[in-house]
């Protein structure tokens, strides 16, 4: 049975070290997790860390975090901006009409949602779906970096301005980023930038450009997967 605070105080005043065993089922101290770097976490512990994150003010208004979904051994990574209201409610990225259009985009290159991994720059929904603030993106960045390291994808498809600019650390408009390859991180993972499905719902005339971008992504992926002779 644990000693109470008064008895602990008396023993400590006498210079006696006291070891108190943590009870079975008792949650770990809040700083226990902080001792393990994010860069050392596997998938499950990373997801648990994200679920408990309070690094920025967005945690106060979330229903739940949106960690990401899909094949954790996928060769394709799709990165979007941030959860919306429905994503916040369900804990899944890209649902609703934008998600259906993303699914159609993937099908156009022979992929399903289950064959890729989908994540966002932010893991919590910004109020009223506003753009992420720099400090919010910075707080979430180590989580996405670790997801990319664990996944080690052959190609990254960045959908929308926020995703592309945060991944590539540039402020170039999407229209000038698309149509050519970019590279992410020390491993120079190819990145193809295209328009966000939500934008396409408002501007369906831009869909032709997206199919071109997806063609570039598939060509790049196919070349990366060719076995060495």
pLDDT of amino acid 67: 98
CATH number at residue 119: 3.40.470.10
For the chain, how many structural domains are there in total?
A: 1
Query: Taking a C-beta distance cutoff of 8 angstroms, is the pair 134, 29 a contact?
Result: no
Query: Taking a C-beta distance cutoff of 8 angstroms, is the pair 174, 209 a contact?
Result: no
- The reply to whether 108 falls in a domain is yes
Q: Which domain holds residue 147?
A: 35-224
- The reply to whether 201 falls in a domain is yes
- The reply to whether 29 falls in a domain is no
pLDDT at residue 148 is higher than 80 = yes
CA distance readout (Å), 96 to 14, 29, 101, 199: 64, 39, 9, 14
**pLDDT-based confidence at residue 133 (cuts at 50, 70, 90):** very high
**pLDDT-based confidence at residue 10 (cuts at 50, 70, 90):** very low
pLDDT, tens digit (0-9, with 9 covering 90-100), for 168-210: 999 999 999 999 999 999 999 999 999 999 999 999 999 999 9
pLDDT, tens digit (0-9, with 9 covering 90-100), for 102-131: 999 999 999 999 999 999 999 999 998 899
Q: What is the mean pLDDT of the chain?
A: 87
pLDDT of amino acid 225: 76
Residues β-bridged to residue 182: 191
pLDDT of amino acid 224: 82
pLDDT at residue 66 is higher than 60 = yes
**At a CB cut-off of 8 Å and minimum separation 6, what does 118 contact?**
68, 69, 70, 77, 78, 79, 80, 93, 94, 102
CA distance readout (Å), 177 to 37, 69, 85, 159, 194: 33, 26, 28, 11, 8
pLDDT of amino acid 29: 36
- The reply to whether 15 falls in a domain is no
Q: Which residues of 165-200 are buried (b: 16+ CB within 10 A; e: fewer)?
A: bbbbeeeeebeebbeeebebeeeebbbbbbbbbbbb
- The reply to whether 175 falls in a domain is yes
- The reply to whether 28 falls in a domain is no
pLDDT of amino acid 158: 98
pTM: 0.83
* Region for 56 from its dihedrals, namely left if φ exceeds 0, alpha if ψ lies in -120 to 50, beta otherwise: beta
- The reply to whether 26 falls in a domain is no
pLDDT at residue 97 is higher than 50 = yes
As a whole number, mean pLDDT of residues 72-91 equals 96
**pLDDT-based confidence at residue 227 (cuts at 50, 70, 90):** low
**pLDDT-based confidence at residue 59 (cuts at 50, 70, 90):** very high
**pLDDT-based confidence at residue 18 (cuts at 50, 70, 90):** very low
């Amino acid at each position: 049975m644990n000693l109470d605070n008064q008895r602990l105080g008396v023993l400590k005043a006498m210079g006696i070290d006291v070891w108190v065993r943590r009870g079975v089922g008792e949650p770990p101290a809040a700083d226990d997790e902080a001792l393990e770097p994010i860069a050392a976490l596997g998938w499950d512990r990373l997801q648990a860390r994200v679920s408990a994150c309070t690094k920025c003010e967005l945690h106060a208004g979330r229903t739940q975090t949106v960690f990401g979904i899909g094949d954790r051994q996928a060769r394709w990574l799709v990165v979007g901006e941030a959860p919306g209201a429905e994503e916040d409610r369900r804990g899944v990225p890209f649902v609703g009409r934008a998600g259906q259009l993303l699914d159609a985009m993937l099908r156009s290159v022979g992929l399903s949602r289950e064959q890729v991994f989908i994540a966002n720059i932010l893991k919590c929904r910004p109020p009223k779906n506003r753009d992420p603030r720099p400090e919010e993106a910075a707080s979430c960045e180590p989580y996405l970096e670790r997801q990319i390291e664990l996944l080690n994808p052959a190609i990254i498809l960045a959908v929308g301005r926020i995703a592309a600019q945060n991944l590539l650390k540039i402020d170039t408009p999407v229209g000038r980023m698309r149509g050519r390859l970019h590279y992410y991180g020390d491993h120079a993972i190819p990145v193809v930038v295209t328009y966000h499905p939500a934008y396409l719902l408002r501007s369906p005339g831009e869909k032709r450009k997206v199919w071109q971008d997806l063609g570039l992504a598939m060509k790049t992926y196919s070349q990366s997967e060719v076995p060495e002779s």
